[in-house]
Chain A
Amino acid sequence: MSFQPFLYWLLPSLVVGVLAALAPRSGGSRPELRRLGLGVVAGVTVLAVRALWPEAGDTAAAAAAPGTPAASGEWPHLLNVLVGLPALAAVMVLFVPRQMLTLLRGFTLAVLAIGFLASLLLLSVPMTAGWHFQYVKDWMPALGIRWHVAVDGISLWLILLTTFTTPIAVYASFGSVKTRIKELCFSFLLLQSAMLGAFVALDLFQFYVFWELMLVPMYLMIGIWGGAEKIKAAIKFFIYTMSGSVLMLAAMVYLVWSHQKLTGTWSWDYLALSRVVLPTWAQATCFWAFSLAFFIKVPMWPLHTWLPDAHVQAPTGGSVILAAVMLKLGTYAYLRFSMGLFPGPASSRAAQLAGFAILGGIIYGALVAWKQQDVKRLVAYSSVAHLGYVMLGLFGVTPVGMQGAVLQMVNHGISTGALFLLVGVIYDRRHTRMVEEFGGLAKPMPIYAACFLIVTFASIGVPGTNGFIGEFMIIMGTFSSERFGTFAGIHTIGAALGVILAAVYMLSVVQKMFFGPLTHPKNRNLPDLTARETVALAPLVAMIFVIGFFPSIFLDRMRDGVKVAYENFKNVSGQAVSFADDRDAQILPASMFHKGFLDGAPETKAAAAADAAPAGPEARVEADR
């Protein structure tokens, strides 16, 4: 008991202390700035980790009342503020004169910092099963569209990841981007709002709105501040994502229309629609329409070709956001919407999809990454491989695999975000990212080399770092998965092979860049990390170890959320297939879902009737007799 507070004060201080001790050695013009910055980072990190730490009472309360709906003490507008504040700020930025750079930068960072601190409030309640911080309001009643936001153990971590990485990306961008700051601030703020909105939306319409809204600022970011081929990359990114999402929209409309035919009520609500079972062919079609949009975003092989271009051309800040958060939207949305709405096809196609994730994602992605000369392109392909793991965990649908997948989403956000920042550092100095241009960098840039090595270890999944926990859980989940049937063993071997390949491509690039003789004369006098770069990297490096050593503080909070998703999937997927043999769409009784899951769904008479009727096809046959 007395040990615990000691630990959580000690750990962040230790990490930051180590970094701070390294700091002055490399010189630099203003060492006091760096120390000040690190002090602030240390303070915020301690605050964040304290908030993460489970209180003794939490678990007791959770155990006492599983499945109870929103406890008191949840401020219902918290999510609205999280989503609305950046959007409002984005509009306000438009009215600031473009010459006032300090004001623009300060304002943007302040808003994002407030967003991060506000998002820590999400940790103040125990994340029991069911929805938290739920807020529902009619938006367009005639169409059945509502403003419905809520958070559970799954989206909680993705929201925190977003509010955590965006300020870092923005702060780092202000160091390297010098032109058109006003547009940059506007894009980042709008993007932040759209991403958070997509994570918290429980209304399909609302989700679609945010999903599309996300494209515009990212498109501008790649197109305006990108590299030589920026326009091609930006258009490719937009068209790829848009083609997927319009098909998803068509499937959404079909689903909503089926629900309306069944119940007589228009509703776009996720909770209401997850009770609809479509006929077999429609289920499959809609599943693919949704999943295609998400697979493009993830990206899954063979839909990944936009990603390397977008990453290589995007500015550092844009790459960080793209890798850390936007790709997670694909995986998150697959878990939430594809698996939640169409569990039947998601279950019956799991083994094949996992094959794609392993062969196309994990192994092919790793092999291609190995052959890259451009470090940024290498990191981009490594993302394809890492997200292959996440998708594998989701396809397997075991509680441990799904938890690992959610954790791995966060891990990938942190470690790949950090890698992109590090690549940006070297690019700002040398204006090249080619591996052969470097060698022996550990000598002039020791701190940089150390950070790169730590992040590389996290990316490979060395024990003690965050990557290990996630990949290990996913591989465990794969092995024990029932969905994969006889393929479980082969899939596990493939996934484990990917870990080895990751070590091969990441370590070989580290070796080439940082060790060996310092051949290139331009590299001799490269300055080490500046104050700004150190401050941007420190929290990411700290989080690598926090997750690596104390994964349970993350896993505890997501356990109930994942359990709800898992049980719903398990109950509904079998039932959905047998129900769907009937020609018509049907409404599932509420009893098939986890308790508390359907809280907040719109009330309809037909749904109530479905609850009253005996469940299951056999029971209905008896009722007919």
Chain B
Amino acid sequence: MNWGPFLGASPLLVVSISGLLLMVAEAFSHRREEAEDRSQGPSADLALPTALTMGAGAVLSAAVWMVGPENLDGVGVLAPYLIIDRFTLFFCFVLCLGGALAALLAGGYLPEHKLDRGEFYPLLTFSTVGCMILAASGDLLSLFLGLETMSLGVYALTGFRRASPRSTEAAVKYFLLGSFAAALLLYGGALLYGATGKTDLAGIRTVLSQHATGTAVDSLREGGSMATVAIGAVLILAGLAFKVSAVPFHMWAPDAYEGAPTPATAFMAVAVKSAAFAVMLRVLVIALGDESWASWAAGWPPVVALLAVLTMTVGNLVAGRQESVKRMLAYSSIAHAGYVLVGVVSAAQTDGDGQASVLFYLLAYTVSTVGAFGTLILCGSRGVEAVSYEDLAGVGKRHPVAAMAFALFLLSLIGVPPTAGFFGKLYVLRASIGAGLYTLSVILVLNSALAAYYYLKVLVYMYMREPAPGAPLARPMKSGYVVGALLISAVLVIGLGLWPQRSLQAATSAKLVAGAR
């Protein structure tokens, strides 16, 4: 029997089978929502196994990377539904890392805030599986399947705080808008299929380029026209822009991010966004990567560039006006999506580093953002969750280690060297200048200076303000899980900042090549 496909898909298989097992385990775990003793709740049973599962997924992706997917026999049998290439593996690694860190954060957060119900972990796991399918899909069908698997889990996680009207509202909002976006995407896919007769991305490209060059006289199906393709492409782009929370499709994001329990917010900010960017790259570079569609004159680059400019600028401007740190981080993650979109625009030039810069940026962004949300979790405890800037006043004096960790992650998000975030920005900048997008580059760097303002505000409150007399003090919680997650993120933030060499090379070799299977 040929084990190649199994080996190639092992990261996916391990995480999905473990998800099933976790569901069973959850049924037998302690059901004590109100347990005072932390060692008794479902989190104590499930958090570490979940994190280990996803850790195993990450390790397996790395292992398959080392072996090289091209050396595995018959791995192409899964294509185009699941394409196991270096691109997929890189994303699997990033997604599993994000999922594992979110699980660790949940292990500390849920018991602390009396939300300790076991279904969080299987939901998280299945959502991660959805993300991975999305990143691997080379066909509109599996793309939609992955998208829905991912989204359903995240909708449920958003509404996880059943008692809180805010959480419920966030979930409903997210669900309604999310379903609408999924419908748009599906409709766009249907139009593309209608015009080209193909559902796989590579096939769509073949038809489109044949049509453009006129090699096959009637490559488009009967009744299909370029207008149909264009409308389909725009609808798909809109659906994906919704998932990456690009302006003007971002309205759901701040509410959903604020209402969701913080570990779920972190997961949404990193994994969901990364997976959506993965599929966006695949659709734009593979299906619409033909010169007639990827050209600056008549194609998607100006549209995406406009999205990028809007997303960066609006995200940063609105983030500066927020009172709540969690909401500020939500808007800042919108702004970061804008930076990544600049990388996506540069990816229109196939010989440049656009794709690699997106990949590396997402890795750097994942560790910094999980770290930032994690320290926000760490700074609060039951009843006194750290939410607003005032809650963080004086933390630098009372809890120097937590404050210093927060400062590190924020500096990485600002892009101060030598942190991971700096290299992410630098790489995107290099790609965009290399692609000749000078105006976009200048807007990017000015935006990152603008962003410094609101990130620094956190530092101001932590180090330079004293809490108002009588105001409730944020007491940091004690949790080995959260500290562990933060340690991993901090090591990666500094490590990627000082020695980015290896991961940059990895990102470069993970580039999608059109026509290669």
Contact = CB atoms under 8 A, between A and B. Distances in A.
Contact of B464 (A231, A249, A257): A231
A243 B414 CA distance: 12
A374 B171 CA distance: 56
A199 B229 CA distance: 57
Given A94-B404, A140-B499, A247-B446, 15 more contacts: A142-B505, A180-B397, A209-B417, A223-B463, A223-B464, A224-B464, A231-B464, A235-B453, A243-B446, A243-B449, A247-B445, A249-B429, A253-B441, A257-B430, A257-B433
Nearest to A222: B464
Q: Which 4 A-B pairs have the closest CB atoms?
A: A246-B445, A209-B417, A243-B449, A223-B464
A220 interface: yes
Interface of A: 94, 140-143, 180, 183, 208-209, 212-213, 215-216, 219-220, 223-224, 230-231, 234-235, 238-239, 242-243, 246-247, 249-250, 253-254, 256-257
Interface in B95-111: none
Contacts of B429: 249-250, 253
Contact of A230 (B426, B464, B505): B464
A239 B464 contact: no
A235 B416 contact: no
Contacts of A254: 433, 438
B35 interface: no
A91 to B, nearest CB: 12
Contacts of A235: 453, 456-457, 460
Nearest to A232: B460
A234 B464 CA distance: 10
A253 B464 contact: no
Interface of B: 397, 404, 411, 416-418, 426, 429-430, 433-434, 438, 441-442, 444-446, 448-449, 452-453, 456-457, 459-460, 463-465, 499-501, 504-505
A230 B444 CA distance: 29
Nearest to B442: A250
Given A213-B416, A254-B433, A246 B449 contact: yes
Contacts of A142: 501, 504-505
B456 A219 contact: yes
A560 B453 CA distance: 43
Contact of A141 (B433, B448, B501): B501
A216 B411 contact: yes
B426 A220 contact: no
A209 B418 contact: yes
| A contact patch SS | helix
Contacts of A234: 460, 464
A140 B503 CA distance: 11
Contacts of B446: 243, 246-247
B416 A212 contact: yes
Nearest to A282: B438
Contacts of B442: 247, 250
Contact of B416 (A143, A183, A216, A231): A216
Of the candidates B429, B442, B449, B500, the one having the most CB atoms from chain A within 10 angstroms of its own CB is: B449
Nearest to B404: A94
B449 A239 contact: yes
Given A231-B464, A238-B452, A246-B449, A257 B434 contact: yes
B453 A220 contact: no
11 contacts: A141-B501, A143-B504, A216-B411, A216-B416, A230-B464, A231-B460, A231-B464, A231-B465, A234-B460, A250-B444, A256-B430
Contacts of A220: 459, 463
A559 to B, nearest CB: 35
Contact of B426 (A94, A216, A243, A249): A249
A594 to B, nearest CB: 30
A611 to B, nearest CB: 27
A232 to B, nearest CB: 10
B463 A224 contact: yes
A314 B416 CA distance: 22
Contacts of A180: 397
A582 to B, nearest CB: 19
Contacts of B463: 183, 220, 223-224
Nearest to A213: B417
Nearest to A180: B397
A590 B459 CA distance: 48
A469 B440 CA distance: 47
Nearest to A210: B417
Nearest to B508: A142
B1 to A, nearest CB: 40
A140 B433 contact: no
A239 B411 CA distance: 14
Contact of B417 (A143, A208, A256): A208
B449 A253 contact: no
A242 B417 contact: no
Contacts of A238: 452, 456
A257 B436 CA distance: 10
B349 to A, nearest CB: 13
Nearest to B411: A216
A94 B460 CA distance: 20
A23 B433 CA distance: 62
A239 B459 CA distance: 14
B460 A223 contact: yes
Contact of B441 (A143, A215, A231, A250): A250
A619 B369 CA distance: 56
